[in-house]
Amino acid sequence: MVSQGKRIVIVGATSAIAEHCARLWVTDTEIELILVGRDLDKTERVAADLRVRNPRATLRVLVADFLEPSAISALVDAVVSAGPVDIVLIAHGALPEQASCQNDLRECRDALTVNAISPVLFAEAFIAPMQQAGHGTLAIMGSVAGDRGRRSNYVYGAAKGLVTRYAQGLQHRVAGSGVAVVLIKPGPTDTPMTAHLKAQGSRLAAVDDVAGQVVEGIARRAPVVYAPAKWRLIMLVIRHLPRFIFNRMSI
């Protein structure tokens, strides 16, 4: 699936989609995966599973404060000092309760920070050395929720909307260079983050299917990857619904 000698960095490696992407990447004969997490024990467990899947793979685990700019800069400097990076996947985030964010400004702030500010800080830290090397693909996790604000999740959607605009700006910045930026927009996916949605009867995409589409889209260096692909059409319709119709919908 990937060529020999790849160096891949996964920020938020304990997220379910990221972990399943790593399982696909680790099957390559020569691969170095750098797993970045906030919790050492959880990230080490992911690394241990990957080592079993391919004992020849090189696995590194790094931890950092995802909300501290200086910690992010130091981590990225340490990674790129060891050599150029082929792929960076920025995949961390959390799905907040909309009602809690409406009732508690601290929860609202935290949701916006972890889902928007932290990912784009990692992207900003990685993009400069990738441009300097003239090589690599940076993939950042957005969401279909960022395509249009909806009453059911507009705090999370606003955060992912920021990621969308940021990724578009990065794509413009690196246009014509050897660097690519891939914006990933998963639909509702069967992961621990969406367990409450599953309990409510929501239909969720299988995480391994979504991960496969993400890995394939990154390999193609696609500007935008909807996963599953049907969400491209669904969100096209939702984005263009007239407001007087949209406001009558409970979504």
What is the per-residue DSSP string for 164-227? Answer: HHHHHHHHHHHTTSSEEEEEEEE-SBSSGGGHHHHHTT---B-HHHHHHHHHHHHHHT-SEEEE
Is the pLDDT reported for residue 229 higher than 60? yes
Residue 23 in tokens: 């399982």
Query: With contact defined as beta carbons under 8 Å apart, do 213 and 207 qualify?
Result: no
Asked whether the beta carbons of 182 and 217 are under 8 A apart, the reply is yes
What is the token pair recorded at 121?
């800080």
pTM: 0.94
Q: What percent of the chain has pLDDT over 90?
A: 90
Report whether pLDDT(43) > 50.
yes
Q: Residue 220 and residue 27: Cα distance in Å, rounded?
A: 18
Percent of the chain at pLDDT exceeding 70 = 98
Q: Does 2 score more than 80 pLDDT? A: no
Give mean pLDDT, residues 47-55: 96
Mean pLDDT of 52-71: 96
Ranges of beta strands (E only) in the chain are 6-11, 31-37, 58-63, 87-90, 136-141, 179-186, 224-227
Among 45-49, 113-117, 130-134, 195-199, the minimum mean pLDDT is found in 195-199
Q: What is the pLDDT of residue 5?
A: 64
- Res 190: pLDDT: 85
Domains belonging to the chain, first-starting first, are 6-246 (3.40.50.720)
| Residue 157: band (very low, low, confident or very high) from pLDDT cuts 50, 70, 90 | very high
Phi-psi category of residue 150: left, alpha or beta, with phi > 0 → left and psi -120 to 50 → alpha: beta
Specify whether the CB–CB gap between 76 and 126 falls below 8 A.
yes
Q: In what order do the strands lie in the sheet with 136-141?
A: 58-63, 31-37, 6-11, 87-90, 136-141, 179-186, 224-227
CA angle 196, 182, 58 (to 5 degrees): 85
Neighbours of 245 (CB within 10 A): 8
Is pLDDT at 3 greater than 50 in this prediction? no
Q: What is the pLDDT of residue 4?
A: 44
Given a cut of 70, whether residue 1 has pLDDT beyond it is no
Find all residues with CB under 8 Å of 26, minimum gap 6, and list them: 33, 50, 53, 54, 57
DSSP conformational letter for 152: T
pLDDT in tens, 113-136: 999 999 999 999 999 999 999 999
The yes-or-no verdict on residue 224 having pLDDT over 80 is: yes
